[in-house]
């Protein structure tokens, strides 16, 4: 490339600010250079298109002094791998820099363009939340094509290319420790669905690597499956790779399997050699210090059967993946993936907050900076895709990463938000940089910025409180370790289980635990901690670490069945032909009365469950004559299977149903109408929510049923009564407006451009159905809807509650369900008015008065019970026994029959004040069926001996089938076995006397 046309300004890929203004027509000679941060100026992603680009001639920086001054003014943090500013200036002036870096964004674009020019359909990245129950998160580029590879759905295109966002957490402990492990990464892929195979895949991978990206051919090594002679010969004979740089590897390394059974095949990988000077002898492609695997080609050509044997697939497929972060590392000539322009700006922002320059940081600080740089990418994209922190499933993945980032930031010394607020959150500040870099990964992230930052802030501040509790718990552990060591004459030591509990439950870094413990003279059992950590790691890796594909009976049952034609938008009844009958997972030719069966029809008016709307109910009839039926089947559910095949589930009520028989399919019109009403009401509800609580809220799930609707949405707090009332008012206003709905089919890009909202969890093709209530709502939706909002008749919210951290749920009714709900409430109100003998408007006042009377009565009763308990205790005080010789300890252990827990506490407090110090009081009672109450109270003289009420009462309570604890001087406990109370008190008396007698000596 002799010259390059530039836009009006150059931008730094680590900041986006104009470095040098240039006229649009500027042409620069090949002898000029690109500066990357600390070494060379980075090109904007808008104009880097080749592996080597010439920029910035001496005409732009006319003198050496100007070059040095310009570089210094950029204030880049010097990296461990960077040349000095002076040497960079020398390279610029002397023309020594030849291998110029390219941005990560340009690598992504050039990969996609490369395969698009070779007939591949460019498809968008799938969400990180997969439409697949076998995996928790999207962990590979091929996941969205799994149904095609399985033959469950027909291919829409013969070949495709994607830049897929991926999440993997099974190696989270390696993040930052190695040069290549990440939780979030991008996999660039090209796929063939029965189109091209090994020869084309290998040829294009080689051309992309050596020509498009300009990698030196003599630095590329190849691995192939040990028995794959075909791939070996293509690499050697056609691509010209020397045999000494092609390694045959075994099944563990180079044979891809989707699971115990299913599609599989050999794979071939391309490695980059960072140290070719080491030669060819004793080379190990798994040596991370020398090689990095950046491209993996999977040749999916076999089906693995139950017996382990392999049979050729009818359709051979190609599944490849090129790691964007790895290729960026190679082309940008940095020592690890974290120092590429994909991640390094995030590290720079973290360094700024921590006041720890990356280039001057020690190895441990660099590790922590890398962890935050990695984790924030994963966190931002997960939250953007609708995952919110929680204690289960995907939510736990986000919460774990957030907590790990918070812990790591505290270890780096980050205090507050870096802007003077020491009580503020720092993760949103760093997330802002991730969002800034997101334009070419997922443009939707920017639109979701408010929700992402609010979620991060809330979760971080909540976790900081947990960390502070952990600090208090650690202090308690250290006190106990010191006391225990003193009593036993051993060296104070914190167990590995305790250290892991602090780490796992309270998010307390073991490094901080060790540092604090050392200051107090306590060591840590690190071996025990490592064992606990390894146990957790094994459990983590055992779950959702692979994409599971299977070619079982379901694929065989439907392989010859065409997609079901859905005609339910236009009609609720139609004739159809029975294509298949399935009983207990097996195909049959006919089914008789009483049998439960799944029916596949060639066409159907029945809506299959999707988009949150449940499937239709109704009947299938086999006509015999006028108004007579040879067979009747009741349909109670309809589901989609294997793509677009509708499965009608139900029971044969009359006669016999056969394959090939023509039937009359009739949907229950009343139930369909109830579903239509609730589905349209759901759209209106979402619009009302956005108006009342903010546009940033978004759907997180829904259910459209016959009797109610349920809508889940992202929001950080409960809705107040006024907000719920306003939401109801808006929806009912739109219902009263009697607005006609408009439904149309249009290209997906056009629909999104018009502002249509995508329904949560749905996958869309190139053509989409758009449902619009003019001026109110526009959504992509395949569900059934009313033709006019007046059909909804009325809308009422029946509940609003939180179901997970940051997720709220509204349940509501509309249409017939609304009328039924209002009538039921009216009936109950009339009954209540009759019972209370008041008018409806007086019910609230009357109930409040009754509650106040009840509260006063209960307080009086409680006071009387406490006085009675204290009176009993005053009589019991005379039963206290003395223990010891030189110093007398008063001990009282008694049962107080059916005294309630509060009164038992008052009695113990009275006794401990009455008896002289030192004294110990243990009381028990059975206040109800299957209920035991226990209390232990010790005076200061007993506590000073190291005897703690909280620790003493716990084992006693276990005898009664319960537990408990409390402070050193006072503790309460409970149980469920009243029959054991007598024995428990006897044991309590025996043990307290024994301990005190020993201490008295």
Rounded CA Rg of the chain: 36
At CB < 8 A and 24+ separation, what contacts does 355-364 make? Answer: 355/413, 356/412, 356/413, 357/77, 357/78, 358/77, 358/79, 359/38, 359/77, 359/78, 359/79, 359/80, 359/82, 360/78
* CA neighbor of 960 nearest in space, from 974, 942, 945, 943: 974
Cβ-Cβ contacts under 8 Å for 443 (sequence gap 6 or more): none
The continuous run of DSSP H or E covering 299 comes out as strand 291-304
Is 166 assigned to a binding site?
A: no
Q: Where are the beta strands (DSSP E) in 521-668?
A: 523-524, 565-566, 573-583, 586-588, 590-592, 596-601, 603-604, 618-625, 628-641, 645-654, 656-658, 662-667
b/e 65-88 (16+ beta carbons within 10 angstroms → b): eebbebbeebebbbbeebbebeeb
Residue pair 54/30 in contact by the 8 Å Cβ criterion: yes
Cβ-Cβ contacts under 8 Å for 125 (sequence gap 6 or more): 162, 163, 164, 165, 441, 442
Q: Retrieve residue 120's tokens.
A: 């591949």
* CA neighbor of 559 nearest in space, from 195, 768, 303: 303
The continuous run of DSSP H or E covering 853 comes out as helix 843-876
d(CA 496, CA 7) in angstroms, rounded, equals 60
DSSP letter (8 states) at residue 126: P
* CA neighbor of 11 nearest in space, from 36, 31, 39, 38: 36
Is 678 assigned to a binding site?
A: no
Q: Angle between the 510-519 and 496-505 helix axes, to the nearest 10 degrees?
A: 130
d(CA 356, CA 374) in angstroms, rounded, equals 17
* CA neighbor of 924 nearest in space, from 875, 985, 878: 985
Residue pair 692/727 in contact by the 8 Å Cβ criterion: yes
Residue pair 725/738 in contact by the 8 Å Cβ criterion: no
* CA neighbor of 522 nearest in space, from 475, 469, 468: 475
d(CA 293, CA 295) in angstroms, rounded, equals 6
The conformational region for residue 325 under phi > 0 = left, psi -120 to 50 = alpha, else beta, is alpha
Is 264 assigned to a binding site?
A: no
Compute the residue count for the chain: 1001
d(CA 698, CA 451) in angstroms, rounded, equals 9
d(CA 590, CA 604) in angstroms, rounded, equals 20
DSSP alpha helices (H): ranges in 208-302? 229-233, 251-254
Is 236 assigned to a binding site?
A: no
Q: 591 has which bridge partners?
A: 657
- Binding site feature residues for Zn(2+): 679, 683, 781, 785
As annotated, the binding site includes 679, 683, 781, 785
């Amino acid at each position: 490339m002799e010259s390059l046309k530039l836009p009006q300004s150059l931008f730094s890929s680590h900041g986006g600010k104009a470095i040098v203004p240039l006229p649009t027509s500027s042409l620069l000679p090949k002898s000029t250079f690109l500066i990357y941060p600390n070494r060379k100026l980075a090109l904007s992603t808008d104009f880097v298109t080749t592996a080597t680009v010439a920029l910035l001639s001496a005409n732009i920086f006319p003198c050496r002094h100007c070059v040095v001054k310009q570089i210094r003014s950029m204030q880049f943090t010097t990296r461990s791998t960077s040349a000095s500013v002076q040497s960079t200036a020398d390279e610029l002036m002397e023309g020594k820099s030849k291998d110029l870096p390219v941005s990560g964004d340009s690598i992504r674009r050039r990969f996609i363009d490369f395969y698009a020019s070779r007939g591949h359909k460019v498809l968008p990245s799938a969400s990180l939340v997969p439409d697949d129950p076998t995996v928790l998160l999207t962990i590979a580029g091929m996941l969205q094509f799994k149904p095609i590879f399985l033959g469950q759905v027909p291919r829409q295109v013969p070949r495709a290319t994607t830049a897929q966002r991926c999440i993997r957490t099974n190696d989270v402990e390696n993040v930052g420790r190695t040069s290549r492990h990440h939780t979030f990464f991008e996999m660039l892929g090209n796929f063939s669905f029965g189109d091209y195979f090994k020869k084309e895949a290998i040829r294009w991978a080689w051309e992309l690597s050596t020509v498009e990206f300009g990698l030196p051919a003599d630095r590329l090594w190849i691995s192939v499956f040990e028995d794959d002679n075909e791939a070996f010969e293509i690499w050697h004979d056609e691509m010209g790779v020397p045999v000494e740089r092609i390694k045959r590897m075994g099944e563990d390394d180079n044979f891809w399997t989707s699971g115990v059974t299913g599609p599989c095949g050999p794979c071939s990988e391309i490695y980059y050699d960072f140290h070719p000077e080491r030669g060819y002898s004793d080379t190990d492609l798994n040596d991370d210090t020398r090689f990095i695997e950046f491209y993996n080609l999977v040749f999916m050509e076999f089906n693995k059967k139950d017996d382990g044997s392999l049979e050729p697939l009818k359709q051979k497929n190609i599944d490849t993946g090129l790691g964007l972060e790895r290729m960026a590392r190679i082309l940008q000539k940095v020592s690890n993936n974290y120092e590429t322009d994909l991640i390094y700006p995030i590290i720079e922002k973290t360094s700024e907050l921590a006041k720890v320059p990356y280039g001057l940081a020690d190895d441990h600080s660099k590790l922590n900076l890398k962890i935050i740089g990695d984790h924030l990418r994963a966190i931002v994209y997960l939250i953007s895709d609708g995952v919110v922190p929680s204690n289960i499933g995907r939510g736990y993945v986000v919460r774990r990463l957030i907590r790990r980032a918070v812990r790591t930031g505290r270890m780096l010394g980050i205090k507050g938000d870096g802007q003077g607020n020491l009580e503020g959150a720092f993760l949103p500040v760093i997330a802002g940089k991730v969002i800034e870099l997101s334009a070419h990964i997922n443009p939707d992230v920017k639109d979701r910025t408010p929700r992402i930052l609010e979620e991060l802030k809330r979760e971080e501040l909540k976790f900081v409180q947990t960390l502070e509790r952990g600090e208090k718990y650690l202090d308690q552990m250290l006190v106990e370790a010191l006391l225990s060591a003193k009593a036993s004459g051993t060296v104070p030591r914190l167990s590995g289980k305790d250290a892991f509990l602090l780490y796992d439950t309270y998010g307390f870094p073991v490094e901080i635990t060790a540092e604090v413990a050392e200051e107090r003279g306590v060591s840590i059992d690190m071996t025990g901690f490592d064992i606990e950590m390894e146990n957790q790691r094994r459990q983590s890796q055992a779950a959702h670490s692979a994409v599971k594909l299977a070619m079982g009976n379901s694929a065989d049952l439907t392989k010859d069945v065409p997609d079901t034609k859905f005609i339910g938008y236009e009609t609720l009844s139609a004739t159809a032909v029975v294509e298949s009958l399935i009983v207990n997972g097996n195909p049959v030719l006919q089914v008789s009365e009483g049998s439960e069966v799944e029916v596949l029809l060639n066409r159907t008016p029945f809506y299959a469950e999707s988009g949150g709307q449940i499937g239709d109910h109704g009947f299938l009839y086999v006509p015999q004559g006028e108004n007579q039926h040879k067979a009747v089947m009741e349909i109670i559910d309809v589901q989609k299977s294997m793509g677009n095949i509708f499965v009608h589930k139900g029971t044969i009520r009359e006669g016999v149903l056969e394959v090939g028989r023509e039937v009359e399919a009739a949907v229950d019109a009343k139930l369909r109408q109830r579903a239509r009403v609730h589905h349209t009401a759901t759209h209106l509800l979402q619009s009302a929510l956005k108006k009342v609580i903010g546009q940033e809220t978004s759907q997180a799930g829904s259910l459209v049923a016959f009797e109610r609707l349920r809508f889940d949405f992202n929001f950080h707090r409960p809705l107040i009564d006024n907000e719920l009332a306003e939401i109801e008012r808006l929806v009912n206003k739109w219902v009263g407006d009697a607005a006609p709905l408009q439904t149309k089919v249009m290209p997906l890009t056009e629909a999104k451009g018009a502002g249509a909202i995508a329904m949560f969890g749905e996958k869309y093709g190139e053509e989409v159905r758009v449902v619009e209530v003019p001026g109110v709502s526009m959504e992509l939706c395949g569900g059934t809807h009313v033709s006019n909002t007046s059909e909804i008749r009325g809308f009422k919210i029946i509940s609003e509650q939180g179901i997970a951290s940051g997720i709220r749920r509204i349940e509501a009714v509309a249409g017939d369900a609304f009328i039924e709900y209002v009538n039921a409430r009216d009936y109950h109100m009339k009954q209540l008015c009759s019972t209370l003998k008041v008018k409806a408007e007086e019910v609230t006042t009357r109930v409040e008065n009754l509650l106040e009377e009840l509260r006063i009565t209960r307080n009086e009763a409680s006071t009387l019970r406490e006085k009675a308990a204290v009176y009993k205790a005053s009589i019991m005080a005379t039963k206290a026994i003395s223990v010891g010789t030189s110093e007398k300890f008063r001990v009282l252990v008694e049962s107080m029959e059916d005294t309630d827990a509060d009164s038992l506490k008052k009695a113990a407090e009275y006794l401990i004040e009455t008896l002289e110090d030192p004294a110990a009081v243990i009381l028990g009672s059975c206040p109800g069926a299957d209920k035991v109450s226990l209390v232990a109270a010790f005076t200061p003289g007993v506590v000073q001996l190291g005897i703690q009420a909280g620790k003493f009462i716990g084992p006693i309570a276990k005898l009664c089938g319960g537990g408990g604890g409390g402070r050193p001087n006072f503790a309460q406990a409970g149980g469920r076995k009243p029959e054991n109370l007598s024995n428990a008190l006897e044991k309590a008396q025996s043990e307290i006397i024994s301990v005190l007698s020993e201490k008295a000596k």
